[in-house]
Amino acid sequence: MRSNKKHSAEELEQFIQLNLEGVSYRELKESYGLLISESVFKGYRLKYRMHD
For residue 44, the model assigns a pLDDT of: 94
What span, in angstroms and rounded, lies between the C-alpha atoms of 30 and 52? Answer: 27
Is pLDDT of 11 > 90? Answer: yes
Is pLDDT of 30 > 90? Answer: yes
> Greater confidence, 11 or 51?
11
What span, in angstroms and rounded, lies between the C-alpha atoms of 24 and 18? Answer: 8
Global pTM value:
0.88
